[in-house]
Amino acid sequence: MELKNSDVYEALAIEWQYQMILVLKEKLLKAGIDDDMAKEIVGEFVFDFALLHDQAAIVVNGKSYNPRISFDDFEGNLISTDEVSNLHEYAFASTGEAYGE
């Protein structure tokens, strides 16, 4: 598989984040959490998770890594970016969209 930097990466990452929001929204609804509380939980979780992706480092066996997602285009390519990620900037707006705002 070949790693490719692409200008579509940001749109893919935003959609991935939005799909994660929908999954979490559904699980909270299924658990009986009312929409106002669920929206707050989803927004905060997605923001913090995006910050982990955008700015944090994880340490495994004493070595630091910055988490990154990539997208398989089903044509033998992994779509990624070498630019700074800013998914956290979309977290609350995407959550609002998922809740009909």
pLDDT digit string, tens, across residues 67-79? 889 999 999 999 9
| pTM, entire model | 0.88
* pLDDT computed for residue 23 by the predictor: 97
Instruction: Specify the pairing of strand 63-65 against strand 58-60.
Output: antiparallel
CA–CA gap between residue 19 and residue 52 (Å, rounded): 18
Q: What pLDDT shows up at residue 55? A: 86
Domain count across the chain: 1
- Domain range spanning residue 7? 2-98
Write down how long the chain is: 101
